[in-house]
Amino acid sequence: MNRVTSAGDPTELAWFKSSYSSGGDEPDCVEIAIAPHTIHVRDSKTIDGPRFTVSGEAWSAFLAPLTP
């Protein structure tokens, strides 16, 4: 995952782009930000657009099929 941070307010979320995304700095990807009790998800093409949050448990269950 590549870390993408917003400049400015230190309380802003630190967004991560999947290493499986389109190469380089292309925006074709889903990004996540990890907060103490939630995982935030957004489309990297519309960073000011809609986003949603899930619990850590839900995120782990989502990723479980990907881990060997």
Q: For residue 8, what pLDDT is reported?
A: 47
SS3 20: coil
Q: Convert the pLDDT of each residue in 5-18 to its tens digit.
A: 444 455 688 998 87
Mean pLDDT score, 39-65: 89
Mean pLDDT of the chain: 78
Report the C-alpha gap between 53 and 35 in whole angstroms.
10
Q: For residue 23, what pLDDT is reported?
A: 61
SS3 59: helix
Q: For residue 21, what pLDDT is reported?
A: 67
Answer whether 0.75 is exceeded by the pTM.
no
